[in-house]
Chains A and B, each alone.
Chain A
Amino acid sequence: MLNDHLGEFEELMLTMVAILDQEAYGNAIVKAVQDQLGRSVNLSAVHITLYRLQDKGLVTSAMGGATANRGGRRKRFFRITHAGRHKLSELQEQRIKLWNLLPELKFGIQ
């Protein structure tokens, strides 16, 4: 499973779930992405991606307690799994490794 490739959006979602820790549910993620990156993402796309991550075993989900607003409906909270954390750090390592391989940037006219 860990060899599964993650798309950019999936990676973003995984990261957001990790960041929001206990508070990661659909709308919270949308808002966090908006706040942190200034990027507007679609709620449905977020949901679809979260379930896909869940299938891959990178996040788990559980229903929260009853709420007063949103029609009394409970929230589905997502939490990152160990496999998810591992995946994230692996991605990070890969990126750093590649970054280091970049030739030093020299701006000059040859």
Chain B
Amino acid sequence: MNPPKLPLRFLEWFCPDDLYEGILGDLEEKFEEDRNLKGLRTARRNFRWNVLRLFHPSIFLRNKFRLIPGTTALLYRHVQTTSRQMRRNPFFTIITLSGLSVTLAFVFMALLFIQKERSFDQFHSGKDNIYRIYQDFRNAETGISTRRSAVTPVPLAKDLASNLPGIKAFTRIGSSPATVFKNQDPFTETLHFVDPGFLLMFDFPMLQGDRIHILGDPLDLVISRDIANKYFGNNDPVGQEMRLALGDTAFLMKVQGVIDPLKARSSLPFDFLLPLEQYKWVISTDLFESYAYGLVENYILLDSGKKLQDIITPMQSALDQGDAAANQQVYYGLQPLPSIHLTDDITGNAQYTSPQKLYFLMMLSVLVIVIACINFIILSTSQALGRFREIGVRKTLGAKSLQLWWQLMVESTLVSFFPAIIATGIAWQFTPLFGRLTGDSLSFDPGIEITLLVFGIALLVAWVTSLLASRIILRSRVQDALSGRNKFGRNRNVLNDGLIVMQFALSMLLVLGAITIRRQMQYIQHKDLGFNQERLLEIALPLSASTTSNRMLVDRFAALVQTNNQILSVSASMNNSRDPWTELAFEQADGSSEKIAYNQIDPNYLKTMDIELLDGQNFKAGSQNNVSAILVNETLVKHFQWDQPLTHTIPGKNFTGNQQIVGVVRDFHFNSLHQQIPPLILSMDLEPLASGITGLSTYVWPSNLYQILVRIGPGDLNPVLGYLENTWKSILPDQPFNYQFVDEVLADKYAEELRWGKALNWASLFAIGIAWLGLLSLMRLSVKKKTREIGIRKVLGSSSSAVMVLLSRKFILLVATGSLVAWPLAWIILDQWLNSFSYHISINPLTFFLVAIAVLMFTTASIGIQSLLASRANPVESLKQD
């Protein structure tokens, strides 16, 4: 019949020692009394209640708080011992500190990058209620989503806002390049066309002008601060007029406001804001009102109480009626604004960062931390060996194991603190470089969270390490420690061996990754694209609504420049090498729909691009029958399974006009190598196809010639470029001369992968370096342990080489095990990555072997030096020890 246990333990925990006995005695006396007078239950209840009442500041604050079991003086001694320890072993100290510093610096920068990417679009106060509308195209039979696009029809948001309740505001965002004049000088700028809701929904700071009342008038214009500086310098831009050309029409727009687009934190960068109705002049009025074409991004702001489901279902049913395409169902969805920046499976115009990039970076950080951690553990446990005597003495003098443990903790905390500071310095210095490597500008502005996180990781690494080390040290027996015999348990060997194997496996994984990415990138860069991308120039033509006038312009330009014999050929086309090409959809009689890529060209295109004609003939310049003539690629012929392609026409139930396939060209890669080559039609004019088109997705529209292609022959490029520019100015004084080299554009497309390849190169180099340091120190330890064994063996007549074999055997075994672990892992990961390319190399098992052998040789070499030293040592020296 005792008092309840739990309150007792509680009391014991919080009650100061010197009060405990008196208080508990009183409580128990009271308990017994209560039990006799009022029964057990009441007694227990009173007891509980009394203990609870005692949990009072004036009782538990009476505890003398000692965070460290040991006095402050001891703490000071710990610091002293640590610094002595560090000075005595400069080799280990430098390796430990530098390894951890570099790792932490890397993690620091990775965190900065992740923080920056996650901060995008978060500054809008209504962000949680702003959604981007996307279309989800699903196959009617299978129901599988084929494509999700946020580039949606122009009338969408406006119709929804007038038909559905709960939409507070909306804006559409269309964009187009256009010519803007500063006095008489033309500049090509990207304009954005928006609804007045844009300024109300998004919180871009207005520097000048009134957020509410502008963009209502068709001639209102809002510009960014940079543009204000560029065009007006120090003058006040508000109220000034700017001349710009939209399509074929020139407008005098009036600047009504200056805004800060916060480009570093926004997925919606812009410089010029124009009222959306001006977009009509860029595309045509039909397109402006049509639901068949995706041209703009639609954003809506919901009432704050509105649930997403409340709006999606009515939205779907309101929009369903207009849609006739039978084989393909269009579903509508809403994407929250804050998620836009890190989503890459919905294609749109907003800027995004592939989330894979963040995962990759996080994975790499974790990997590097693990490697550094392992290294740290190996190093500090091997360092602990030298301290057995110290620990032994401490134990003999009566140190409790808790005190020893605290000593190790203090040490590791100190050891972790230095690298964290050094890492901050390194990160501060190298953040811009890291930014370039990851393809973004990055500045060093860590918040308190990131700094704390880095210091926390440092502390965690150090603590985990010292916990492991303390297990080994504290369990040693005093007499062993004092006699200098270092008895390690079997466990420790297994632990260290396991760590070494893991480290080798991880570094090998990184090396294999780096090599494979490099090979794949080389393959892509040197792959035959089906056309010649070297010395090929694209010059942007002015945006004009008329195909004829552009064609005449091209002809004039071509006639002029072809007098220069370094210019081999001049042509023009609709789609460029940077953006995905136009895709047309043709509805079939059975309701299905054929999607075919399209490019408008001129007769010199094949010659200029160096594309081979497999069958039939090219377009003839100036000939009448060209109007209905089209060229197709091999894939299209294969797709329709035609034996005699020249006798067929493109199938489609709406086709009315004449069309004739006059030739077949060899497949060439016009899209990214991540994708298969799609079927393609080339024509001089859209007319033979226009009647059959039932859908479209495109970056440039309407169909027209938007750039001149120039093939330049061997020789110096600069005079040719100067010559081209002069010719351009002579016929188009109002238009800027904007050009790009196709090979540079293509290199740019894979720049991302190239950059990551480079990052991986560095990471793997770093990992190997650290792993090697770990191995080296372990080797040192192992040689030290076997000093006497080696001495005895040599006295008994063993040769130096036999001793070397004895020492190296185990490590070679470890490396071999490491490769066995790394191979399957590397195979799975790399296979997956390569499969994201439609055209890729296959994994070469030979690479795997070679990497393993290289690592093995590297290891043997570094072990060799150590074991050579050990085997050469005079046995007299080593045996003298006892």
B25 close to A73 (CB less than 8 A)? yes
A52 close to B22 (CB less than 8 A)? no
A51 close to B26 (CB less than 8 A)? no
Which of B21, B49, B53, B54 is in CB contact (< 8 Å) with A74?
Answer: B21
Q: Is A27 an interface residue (CB 8 A)?
A: yes
Q: Is A76 an interface residue (CB 8 A)?
A: yes
Which of B23, B33, B53 is in CB contact (< 8 Å) with A42?
Answer: B53
Residues of the A chain whose Cβ atoms lie less than 8 Å from the Cβ of B30: 27, 30, 43
Residues of the A chain whose Cβ atoms lie less than 8 Å from the Cβ of B19: 51, 76
Question: In the complex, how many angstroms separate the beta carbon of B49 from the nearest chain A beta carbon?
Answer: 8
Chain B stretch 22-39: residues in CB contact (< 8 A) with chain A = 22-30, 32-33
Stretch at the interface among B55-63, B71-79, B712-720: B55-63
Residues of the B chain whose Cβ atoms lie less than 8 Å from the Cβ of A85: none
B53 close to A73 (CB less than 8 A)? no
Q: Is B83 an interface residue (CB 8 A)?
A: no
Least CB separation from A71: chain B residue: B28
Which of B21, B26, B54 is in CB contact (< 8 Å) with A27?
Answer: B26
B58 close to A44 (CB less than 8 A)? no
A47 close to B25 (CB less than 8 A)? no
Residues of the B chain whose Cβ atoms lie less than 8 Å from the Cβ of A43: 26-27, 30, 50
Known: A74-B21, A76-B21. A47 touches B26 (CB 8 A): yes
Interface string of B336-359 (1 = CB under 8 A from A): 000000000000000000000000
Stretch at the interface among A1-9, A14-22, A62-70, A95-103: A62-70
Least CB separation from B51: chain A residue: A44
B32 close to A47 (CB less than 8 A)? no
Residues of the A chain whose Cβ atoms lie less than 8 Å from the Cβ of B58: 48, 51-52
Residues of the B chain whose Cβ atoms lie less than 8 Å from the Cβ of A51: 19, 58-59, 62
Residues of the A chain whose Cβ atoms lie less than 8 Å from the Cβ of B59: 47-48, 51
A67 close to B25 (CB less than 8 A)? yes
A75 close to B25 (CB less than 8 A)? yes
B22 close to A75 (CB less than 8 A)? yes
Known: A42-B53, A44-B50, A69-B32. A63 touches B27 (CB 8 A): no
Task: Report the separation of the CA atoms of residues A25 and B29 in the bound assembly, to the nearest whole angstrom.
Answer: 11
Which of B22, B26, B33, B51 is in CB contact (< 8 Å) with A63?
Answer: B22
Known: A42-B53, A45-B53, A48-B54. A73 touches B24 (CB 8 A): yes
A70 close to B25 (CB less than 8 A)? yes
Least CB separation from A77: chain B residue: B22
Chain B stretch 1-54: residues in CB contact (< 8 A) with chain A = 19, 21-30, 32-33, 49-51, 53-54
Task: Report the separation of the CA atoms of residues A83 and B30 in the bound assembly, to the nearest whole angstrom.
Answer: 30
Task: Report the separation of the CA atoms of residues A3 and B33 in the bound assembly, to the nearest whole angstrom.
Answer: 39
Task: Report the separation of the CA atoms of residues A101 and B24 in the bound assembly, to the nearest whole angstrom.
Answer: 46
A47 close to B54 (CB less than 8 A)? yes
Q: Is A84 an interface residue (CB 8 A)?
A: no
A25 close to B32 (CB less than 8 A)? no
Task: Report the separation of the CA atoms of residues A45 and B26 in the bound assembly, to the nearest whole angstrom.
Answer: 12
Question: In the complex, how many angstroms separate the beta carbon of A32 from the nearest chain B beta carbon?
Answer: 14
Question: In the complex, how many angstroms separate the beta carbon of B516 from the nearest chain A beta carbon?
Answer: 71
A73 close to B54 (CB less than 8 A)? no
Interface string of A50-63 (1 = CB under 8 A from B): 01100000000101
Known: A43-B27, A48-B54. A74 touches B32 (CB 8 A): no
Task: Report the separation of the CA atoms of residues A44 and B32 in the bound assembly, to the nearest whole angstrom.
Answer: 16
Residues of the A chain whose Cβ atoms lie less than 8 Å from the Cβ of B23: 26, 47, 76
Question: In the complex, how many angstroms separate the beta carbon of B9 from the nearest chain A beta carbon?
Answer: 15
Q: What total count of A-B pairs have CB within 8 Å?
A: 68
Known: A48-B59, A63-B21. A70 touches B29 (CB 8 A): yes
B54 close to A26 (CB less than 8 A)? no
Task: Report the separation of the CA atoms of residues A63 and B20 in the bound assembly, to the nearest whole angstrom.
Answer: 11
Question: In the complex, how many angstroms separate the beta carbon of B831 from the nearest chain A beta carbon?
Answer: 70
Task: Report the separation of the CA atoms of residues A76 and B18 in the bound assembly, to the nearest whole angstrom.
Answer: 10
Residues of the B chain whose Cβ atoms lie less than 8 Å from the Cβ of A42: 50, 53
Least CB separation from B57: chain A residue: A48
Question: In the complex, how many angstroms separate the beta carbon of A37 from the nearest chain B beta carbon?
Answer: 18
B50 close to A74 (CB less than 8 A)? no
Chain B stretch 51-101: residues in CB contact (< 8 A) with chain A = 51, 53-54, 56, 58-59, 62
Which of A27, A44, A47, A63 is in CB contact (< 8 Å) with B29?
Answer: A27
Chain B interface: which size bin? 20 to 34
Q: How many residues of A contact B (CB 8 A)?
A: 22
Task: Report the separation of the CA atoms of residues A47 and B62 in the bound assembly, to the nearest whole angstrom.
Answer: 13
B56 close to A48 (CB less than 8 A)? yes
Question: In the complex, how many angstroms separate the beta carbon of A105 from the nearest chain B beta carbon?
Answer: 40
B25 close to A71 (CB less than 8 A)? yes
Residues of the B chain whose Cβ atoms lie less than 8 Å from the Cβ of A71: 24-25, 28
Residues of the B chain whose Cβ atoms lie less than 8 Å from the Cβ of A26: 22-23, 26
Task: Report the separation of the CA atoms of residues A90 and B853 in the bound assembly, to the nearest whole angstrom.
Answer: 94
Residues of the B chain whose Cβ atoms lie less than 8 Å from the Cβ of A63: 21-22
A73 close to B50 (CB less than 8 A)? no
Least CB separation from A26: chain B residue: B26
Task: Report the separation of the CA atoms of residues A43 and B62 in the bound assembly, to the nearest whole angstrom.
Answer: 18
Least CB separation from B55: chain A residue: A44
Residues of the A chain whose Cβ atoms lie less than 8 Å from the Cβ of B56: 44, 48
Task: Report the separation of the CA atoms of residues A38 and B59 in the bound assembly, to the nearest whole angstrom.
Answer: 27
Which of B26, B32, B33, B51 is in CB contact (< 8 Å) with A75?
Answer: B26
Task: Report the separation of the CA atoms of residues A76 and B56 in the bound assembly, to the nearest whole angstrom.
Answer: 19
Chain B stretch 684-720: residues in CB contact (< 8 A) with chain A = none
Task: Report the separation of the CA atoms of residues A71 and B25 in the bound assembly, to the nearest whole angstrom.
Answer: 7
Residues of the B chain whose Cβ atoms lie less than 8 Å from the Cβ of A44: 49-51, 53-54, 56
Question: In the complex, how many angstroms separate the beta carbon of B36 from the nearest chain A beta carbon?
Answer: 11
Residues of the B chain whose Cβ atoms lie less than 8 Å from the Cβ of A67: 25
Known: A47-B23, A63-B22. A73 touches B28 (CB 8 A): yes
Question: In the complex, how many angstroms separate the beta carbon of A71 from the nearest chain B beta carbon?
Answer: 5
Task: Report the separation of the CA atoms of residues A76 and B23 in the bound assembly, to the nearest whole angstrom.
Answer: 8
Which of B22, B28, B32 is in CB contact (< 8 Å) with A76?
Answer: B22
Least CB separation from B46: chain A residue: A43
Chain B stretch 383-413: residues in CB contact (< 8 A) with chain A = none
Known: A45-B53, A51-B58, A51-B62. A70 touches B22 (CB 8 A): no
Residues of the A chain whose Cβ atoms lie less than 8 Å from the Cβ of B33: 27
Residues of the A chain whose Cβ atoms lie less than 8 Å from the Cβ of B28: 70-71, 73
Residues of the B chain whose Cβ atoms lie less than 8 Å from the Cβ of A25: 22, 26
Question: In the complex, how many angstroms separate the beta carbon of B690 from the nearest chain A beta carbon?
Answer: 93
A70 close to B54 (CB less than 8 A)? no
Least CB separation from B25: chain A residue: A73
Least CB separation from A61: chain B residue: B22
Residues of the B chain whose Cβ atoms lie less than 8 Å from the Cβ of A52: 58
Least CB separation from B52: chain A residue: A44
Residues of the B chain whose Cβ atoms lie less than 8 Å from the Cβ of A47: 23, 26, 54, 59
Task: Report the separation of the CA atoms of residues A75 and B29 in the bound assembly, to the nearest whole angstrom.
Answer: 10
Residues of the B chain whose Cβ atoms lie less than 8 Å from the Cβ of A73: 21-22, 24-25, 28
Least CB separation from B2: chain A residue: A71
Task: Report the separation of the CA atoms of residues A18 and B32 in the bound assembly, to the nearest whole angstrom.
Answer: 27
Question: In the complex, how many angstroms separate the beta carbon of A96 from the nearest chain B beta carbon?
Answer: 31
Least CB separation from A47: chain B residue: B23
Question: In the complex, how many angstroms separate the beta carbon of A10 from the nearest chain B beta carbon?
Answer: 12
Chain B stretch 747-786: residues in CB contact (< 8 A) with chain A = none
Question: In the complex, how many angstroms separate the beta carbon of A38 from the nearest chain B beta carbon?
Answer: 17
Residues of the A chain whose Cβ atoms lie less than 8 Å from the Cβ of B22: 25-26, 61, 63, 73-76
Task: Report the separation of the CA atoms of residues A52 and B62 in the bound assembly, to the nearest whole angstrom.
Answer: 11
Question: In the complex, how many angstroms separate the beta carbon of B48 from the nearest chain A beta carbon?
Answer: 11
Task: Report the separation of the CA atoms of residues A27 and B50 in the bound assembly, to the nearest whole angstrom.
Answer: 12
Task: Report the separation of the CA atoms of residues A76 and B19 in the bound assembly, to the nearest whole angstrom.
Answer: 8
Given contacts A25-B26, A27-B33, A48-B58, 12 further A-B contacts (CB under 8 A): A26-B22, A26-B26, A27-B30, A43-B26, A45-B53, A48-B54, A51-B19, A71-B28, A73-B24, A74-B25, A76-B19, A76-B22
The 3 closest A-B pairs by CB, nearest first: A76-B22, A73-B25, A44-B53
Sample (11) of A-B pairs whose CB atoms are under 8 Å apart? A25-B22, A26-B26, A42-B53, A47-B54, A51-B19, A51-B58, A69-B32, A70-B32, A73-B21, A74-B25, A76-B19
- Seen from chain A, the residues whose Cβ lies within 8 Å of a Cβ on chain B are 25-27, 30, 42-45, 47-48, 51-52, 61, 63, 67, 69-71, 73-76
